[in-house]
Amino acid sequence: MHTIGVDPAYQGRGIGRRLLRELLDFARGGVVYLEVRTDNDAALALYRSVGFQRVGLRRRYYRVSGADAYTMRRDSGDPS
């Protein structure tokens, strides 16, 4: 999976959390990694709320903007 997102008109209704939980259910039995912009507070809060932990920093990860990204990890067996 490369990107998930929710139309701004529908944000704040738990849709992103449901999508993420479905993906995590699909990945049961493995470890899941992701990258997220360091300034994306809403996404960071969502990922932390389902058990992701920050494990690294990638400088200038996003080529167009030059923004940094955190690498986050979650064991798929963790409760969400």
CATH code, 61: 3.40.630.30
Q: Is residue 44 part of a domain?
A: yes
Which residues is 48 bridged to in the sheet? Answer: none
Low-confidence ranges of the chain (pLDDT < 70): 76-80
**Rounded to two decimals, what is the model's pTM?**
0.85
Print the domain residue range for 67.
8-75
Q: Is residue 3 part of a domain?
A: no
Q: Is residue 41 part of a domain?
A: yes
Q: Is residue 55 part of a domain?
A: yes
Q: Is residue 16 part of a domain?
A: yes
pLDDT in tens, 44-67: 999 999 999 999 999 999 999 999
Q: Is residue 23 part of a domain?
A: yes
What domain count does the chain have? Answer: 1
Point out the residues that are catalytic: 35, 47
